[in-house]
Chains A and B, each alone.
Chain A
Amino acid sequence: KQEVTQIPAALSVPEGENLVLNCSFTDSAIYNLQWFRQDPGKGLTSLLLIQSSQREQTSGRLNASLDKSSGRSTLYIAASQPGDSATYLCAVQNTGNQFYFGTGTSLTVIP
């Protein structure tokens, strides 16, 4: 069974700092990987989706990379802002319609 791990579990940084969130998965036979953010008490908002054939995706200040062979993905956030404070989740899709999520990284950006 696929296992998804996110490190660190929590991160606190001063505003303006660049940061990297990590996601690792045990089964490299994935079809895609998706990064989400979740605000307290809310649902998930999709940030980036990387297909298995891709190496990275970019959206604004966010850049996600994927190294399928090593079972790793990173989410890079440039020039962090207090509004970036949230929990960031990664999810992978394996065969069929199975989706596996990590437990998330709780990010706090200090003004």
Chain B
Amino acid sequence: QLVLTQSPSASASLGASVKLTCTLSSGHSSYAIAWHQQQPEKGPRYLMKLNSDGSHSKGDGIPDRFSGSSSGAERYLTISSLQSEDEADYYCQTWGTDIRVFGGGTKLTVL
């Protein structure tokens, strides 16, 4: 079964960097994922598609502060130079021919 696992929460200081993790279920380590950001009271926003080799392509207007990387079944989102507006929920998403799957989301607090 295709499942994505995320830690429920993370925190980091203003101006620092943070690395969020999304883990693919056993047998699915070759899958690409996407990262989405959801600021409070807003719809989600697509950040990037992240492949198993770590290559990634970002959505329109996504700042260079957002980057992605991969290792085995783990997919990472790194946000550098944290700003207050980065405080949001971050969801990873993957897909098969007939299904779309979301991780449970990570709530990022900027201290």
Report whether chain A binds chain B: no
Q: Chain A interface (Cβ within 8 Å of chain B)?
A: none
Q: Chain B interface (Cβ within 8 Å of chain A)?
A: none
